[in-house]
A and B are shown apart, each in its own frame.
Chain A
Amino acid sequence: MSALDFTSSPINQSLTAEKKIGLYTLMVRIRDFEMAALKSYNAGKLGGFLHVYIGQESVAAGTLSLCGENDHNITAYRCHAHALASGMAMDECMAELYGKSTGCSKGKGGSMHFFAPDKNFWGGHGIVAGQTPLGLGLGYGLKYLNKEGCCLCFLGDGAVNQGAFHESLNIASLFGIPVVYVIENNGYSMGTSQKRSSAYTGCLAQRAEAYDIEWDVIDGSDIYEVRAKTHIAMERARKEHKPTVLEIDTYRYYGHSVADSKHKGGYRTPEEIQEYKDNHDPISVYRRRLAAEGVLNDELVASITRDSKAEAAAAVKFAEDSPAPSISDIAADVYWETDNNTDASKIGHHFFA
């Protein structure tokens, strides 16, 4: 826990009891969704990768709770939390994991590629730091279209060493783009620790100084701190068209992906994982805090948990009962023009056998 208390920050003081319970509920739902997904994965029902967010819930829940009508967000492949925090339903997300046609991407994206443009959520991107120029572009677009908003562009601590991120930082500062880069620092770029992967002074976010960009470091286990500091960065983006780099210290309990067998006892110790669970778990920390505030009691916690688990179980059933895409669906959603059967789509061959 941070020595500072961010409860009194105006952005947190404005939280009603209902909204606080909403934040807590969201974190619980994110975790239960992913626990259910892990269970399905381990039962052999899902394909590909599954990068779970468990342990990091306060980051997506806290930052995205600050978003208004003209605020957008985009992230990398560990995207389930951002999807749910953007307002997507468990059903469409779970169905996507199952590769079903009822999935948010009709089963064409998978775990790493959730999207909901109608909720200002732009994915879900599989290549490390590949989304960072896109986030820049969302900010550029907002400014170009004269909309007062910003883009929250999330990336992992492993992404800070990609060239595309540095190109984006330079342009963000040079052009005055309303983008907030949020480094979700869980300490490991897959199996390589921060110390073994990055050269830096102080912290990763401090690299922003080289681009004349404001930066800050946040204790991710404290959702009030996440909200208070991210709010400042978002206001700077919206009102002054200035970018910020935030580094939120957090932790994942599971591997980089389900295919990471060395995460426990390999590149990190079981004791390290347990220490975070015992003392920094964002859901537990917030539950204790809300209990102390008199907002949550045991009965309410039990009912939130019950509802959340039921929702996740229902999403699994929805996904399992949903139809798979057909072979004829494979070649749809490739071109806008052919999907919309426009005049242009009728000229020349777009597809080849």
Chain B
Amino acid sequence: MRTLTYREALREGLDEELARDPNVVIMGEEVAQYNGAYKVTEGLWQKWGDKRIVDTPISEAGFIGMGIGASMLGVRPVMELMFWSFHSVAFDQLVNNAACVRYMSGGLCHCPIVVRGPANGGTNVGATHSHIPEGLFAAFPGLKVCAPATPADAKGLIKAAIRDNDPVYFMENTLLYGMTGEVPDPADGDFVIPLGKADLKREGSDISLIAHGRSVIHCLEAAETLKNEHGISAEVLDLRSIRPLDVDAILASVAKTHRVVLVDESKPFGGVSAMVSHLIQEHAFDELDAPIKRVCTIDAPAIYSPHVENDQLPNPKRIVEKVLSMK
């Protein structure tokens, strides 16, 4: 199978959806003439022109609100946040308008938007640019959230997100953009991965490592170390989609291994892993042979220092240590 980078896979997904539906429009800061701050949209403006690929001013509340308003009339905006960290300046639009307009109108309005961009730490850009808000937004009914870890998932999920008739907040990762992986050839058919479906990235029998986004990559590396150096068979479940959430896949993995480490780039208080932990204790308490453990980002704003930032985040070493501590 051919390989693409995560960035190329996303771009291919966007390009295919632009071709499929004339109401899909990409907008954001530097997405057109500059080719995207992280080059996800490179070449799309040359191909599709000013109407479909729109450079906006640095006005997140303005252009995201504009996209929400346009979506109510049937346009399908895909809006790039240069960093998901900038959600804070558009929060009213993202939460009050996108998440609530359907509900407050008794189902009369709908809001088929995608907001996408990178949401990660690990690039030494300090606290303001390192927020990881998938748990935050998944906490608002009306919103959907996903966080793909691989090129194929990035492509398949962005296509599903664009076709979805609800607001989908799509969280990427700057450290994954250059990562390569196998992606099915478009000639073999339309490749769409539905929201709400987790993916078992590695099978195992001793412990379940449950994660999303880049943490999945760390889990896979940790699982290799656990097998080779400690004889532990770890299973890696990639949630891919946070809301809707594949609860059945989580419970099935727990029923198989009876031990769980949740790996989550968010902070420990609340968030995705806290919710998953709750679901496991509620629905699979009797399956557990040990308390659920977590590897989260160390509970402080993101540190700048390149010397220690990776130690603040989940990483293979911390995951291995956490698993070994459960013996």
Chain A residues engaging chain B, CB cutoff 8 angstroms: 72, 74, 103-109, 113, 115-118, 122-127, 130, 132-142, 144-145, 151, 163-164, 167-168, 170-171, 174, 331-337, 339-340, 342-344, 347-352
Contact = CB atoms under 8 A, between A and B. Distances in A.
Given A164-B92, A350-B244, A115 B109 contact: yes
A122 B57 CA distance: 25
A115 B102 CA distance: 10
B104 A168 contact: no
Contact of A347 (B70, B107, B244): B244
A133 B61 contact: yes
A108 B101 CA distance: 10
Interface of B: 23, 25, 51, 56-57, 59, 61-75, 92-93, 96-97, 101-110, 112, 141-142, 144, 160, 164-166, 194-197, 241, 243-247, 275, 279
B75 A134 contact: no
A169 to B, nearest CB: 9
Given A133-B93, A134-B65, A348-B241, A105 B106 contact: yes
Contact of B65 (A72, A132, A333): A132
A299 B313 CA distance: 78
Given A133-B64, A334-B103, 19 more contacts: A105-B105, A122-B109, A124-B104, A127-B92, A127-B96, A130-B96, A133-B65, A134-B69, A135-B69, A137-B66, A141-B73, A163-B61, A164-B65, A168-B62, A171-B62, A344-B196, A348-B243, A349-B245, A350-B244
B108 A174 contact: no
Given A163-B61, A164-B62, A115 B244 contact: no
Contacts of B164: 337, 344
Contacts of B275: 352
A123 B104 contact: yes
A123 B66 contact: no
B197 A333 contact: no
Contacts of B241: 348
Contacts, number: 193
Contacts of A343: 194
B105 A109 contact: yes
Nearest to A104: B106
B163 to A, nearest CB: 8
Given A140-B70, A347-B244, A350-B243, A336 B166 contact: yes
22 contacts: A105-B105, A106-B107, A108-B103, A125-B96, A133-B68, A134-B72, A137-B68, A138-B69, A138-B70, A140-B66, A141-B75, A144-B25, A164-B92, A164-B93, A170-B62, A171-B62, A333-B103, A334-B103, A344-B164, A347-B195, A348-B196, A350-B244
Contact of A122 (B56, B72, B246): B72
A311 B75 CA distance: 38
B247 to A, nearest CB: 5
Given A350-B243, A352-B275, A123 B70 contact: no
A142 B59 contact: no
Contacts of A74: 69
B59 A170 contact: yes
Given A133-B66, A135-B69, A168-B65, A344 B57 contact: no
Given A115-B108, A141-B73, A333-B107, A168 B93 contact: no
Given A136-B65, A170-B62, A105 B73 contact: no
The winner among A72, A123, A163, A344 for most chain B CB atoms within 10 A is A344
A108 B104 contact: yes
Contacts of B64: 133
Contacts of B112: 336
B104 A109 contact: yes
B73 A145 contact: yes
A138 B142 CA distance: 21
A168 B72 CA distance: 17
Contacts of B246: 347-349
Given A171-B62, A350-B243, A134 B105 contact: no
A137 B106 contact: no
B104 A113 contact: yes
A142 B244 contact: no
Contact of B142 (A104, A107, A132, A334): A334
Contacts of B160: 344
A136 B69 contact: yes
B69 A348 contact: no
Contact of B61 (A109, A164, A332): A164
Contacts of B106: 103-109, 115, 333
B109 A167 contact: no
Contact of A170 (B57, B165, B244): B57
A334 B101 contact: no
Given A133-B62, A348-B245, A117 B72 contact: yes
B249 to A, nearest CB: 9
A167 B61 contact: yes
Contacts of A171: 56-57, 59, 62-63, 66
Contacts of B165: 336-337, 340, 342
Contact of A141 (B51, B65, B72): B72
B145 to A, nearest CB: 11
Given A117-B72, A122-B109, A127-B92, A347 B194 contact: yes
